[in-house]
Amino acid sequence: MTNSYLNGDTASTSIIGFLFNNVDPRLIELNELVIDSISMGTNNKFYYIILEARNPAFNLYAVIDNKMNVLMKDNSLNGNLTSHFQNINNRLFQIIQEFFTSKDTVKIQRTSFYEFHSSSVNLSFRTITAFNFGKSTVTSTINEFDDEKIRQNFSAINTPQFKFEIDEFLFDSATKRYISENNYLRNFALDQINKLKTRNGHAEITDQSSYYKIFFGEIERRVTTEISKEDYSIFLTEEWREFENFAIVKYLEKEFSGNKYVNENIGATLSVIKLPARDSAESFINYKLTFSDDYQNPIRYTDPIEMGRLQIGFYEYTCNSKRLLLILEVPKFTYERNNQIYNNIIRTFKVNC
């Protein structure tokens, strides 16, 4: 069915097009496509898709069960992809490694561990595992992996500013994810990349929005402003009105004080709430955050949920001991038209650690 979709089959598009964010399949030029399955017990089989595109904005990793339920959808993978399964302490992981270049010259390797359960899949661990810029190189190995922690050991060459030898990622039972309060190599790599300018003024393709903008000019240019708060920063246009210390209870099990942003032109509302550090979003909403990505911070989220004339999305961002919930409330009938606006906000939202 995936091959049929990529060949433009209309029937397949109506069934699985959402996995590819309903992108016109003619835009997706393949480097490699892996479609395979793994048995998870009697009469229980998971199917996984790993799509590596010439334009990494269209890379995809997805896992589906034999009833066509989506157990994992990750559109955040970059560059060239490799994968393998590994059983660690009687836990099954599919490990995906990304190899890509940022700002023309910085070479990055990022590693993700997706844990397979009997009826679900979750992103259990993700971090940068190698960094190379000119003669500066930092590599790492995972030397310890158990139910409580992952230990990452570093080796640095011609990189005197990187002084760390070990990083520890502790298991967070609320998110089922290994998290480091320091994430030394990831933060070091991002800091080095942010200091660089793109060579020759080349525009960078970072997601599907930037791809359309560079090659098709389809995204209207809008001036965005970074709104910095104590716990987070968010990029919004001047059309968004801010309401601070607002009582927020809609869709929640209890009332929180947070900040609300309203765009009357498109009828959209954003609410930002700081959650207790040890409580996941599911403690306060009646929906499961079944998908995960890693933008400015690790993020878990729901698919858009239809409620009458509205479409709702819940997004939980974490960094060290901070946990924030973003609630997006938009008109259902204009969601697709303004989808790029919402995606840009979600991708650039950042928790201040």
Tell me the pLDDT tens digit for each residue of 62-112.
999 988 888 998 888 989 999 999 999 999 999 999 999 887 788 999 999
Determine the pLDDT at residue 238.
Answer: 81
* Number of residues written out for the chain: 353
More confident residue, 198 or 252: 252
More confident residue, 119 or 205: 119
pLDDT tens, position by position, 275-294: 998 899 999 999 999 888 88
* CA–CA separation, 297 and 339 (whole Å): 21
Q: In the 8-state DSSP scheme, what is residue 79? A: S
Determine the pLDDT at residue 216.
Answer: 41
Report residue 231's pLDDT band, with 50, 70 and 90 as the boundaries.
very high
Report residue 114's pLDDT band, with 50, 70 and 90 as the boundaries.
very high
| Domains, the chain, ordered by start | 2-201 (no CATH), 221-351 (3.40.1000.10)
pLDDT > 90? residue 219: no
Determine the pLDDT at residue 220.
Answer: 42
pLDDT tens, position by position, 1-46: 455 544 444 444 444 555 665 555 666 788 999 999 999 988 889 9
Closest CA to 86 of 50, 124, 130, 45: 124
Which tokens in the block code for residue 225? 């402003």
Determine the pLDDT at residue 312.
Answer: 94
Determine the pLDDT at residue 200.
Answer: 46
> What is the arithmetic mean of pLDDT over 214-225?
48
Determine the pLDDT at residue 5.
Answer: 44
How far apart, in Å, are the Cα atoms of 241 and each of 65, 267, 332? Answer: 42, 12, 21
User: How wide is the angle at C-alpha 174 spanned by C-alphas 71 and 245, nearest 5°?
Assistant: 105
Residues 6+ apart with CB under 8 A from 78: 56, 59, 98, 100, 108, 110
How far apart, in Å, are the Cα atoms of 233 and each of 158, 184, 298? Answer: 34, 21, 15
* CA–CA separation, 158 and 152 (whole Å): 20
pTM: 0.61
Determine the pLDDT at residue 102.
Answer: 84
Looking at residue 346, its amino acid is I
Backbone φ and ψ of 137, nearest 5°: -140, 135
Which tokens in the block code for residue 37? 């399955």
Quick one: how far is CA 314 from the chain centroid?
Answer: 13
pLDDT > 60? residue 181: yes
Q: In the 8-state DSSP scheme, what is residue 223? A: -
Q: What is the mean pLDDT of the chain?
A: 84
Q: Which long-range contacts (CB under 8 A, 24 or more apart) does 248-252 make?
A: 248/273, 248/327, 250/327, 251/285, 251/312, 251/314, 251/327, 252/284, 252/285
Q: 216: left (phi > 0), else alpha (psi -120 to 50), else beta?
A: alpha
* CA–CA separation, 324 and 230 (whole Å): 12
Which residue, chain included where needed, has tokens 């965005």? 224
Q: Give the containing element (helix H, strand E) for 211.
A: helix 208-216
Report residue 211's pLDDT band, with 50, 70 and 90 as the boundaries.
very low
Quick one: how far is CA 170 from the chain centroid?
Answer: 20
* CA–CA separation, 141 and 165 (whole Å): 11
> What is the arithmetic mean of pLDDT over 294-306?
87
Backbone φ and ψ of 4, nearest 5°: -65, -40
> What is the arithmetic mean of pLDDT over 232-245?
88
Determine the pLDDT at residue 112.
Answer: 95
Collapsed DSSP state (helix, strand, coil) of residue 253: coil
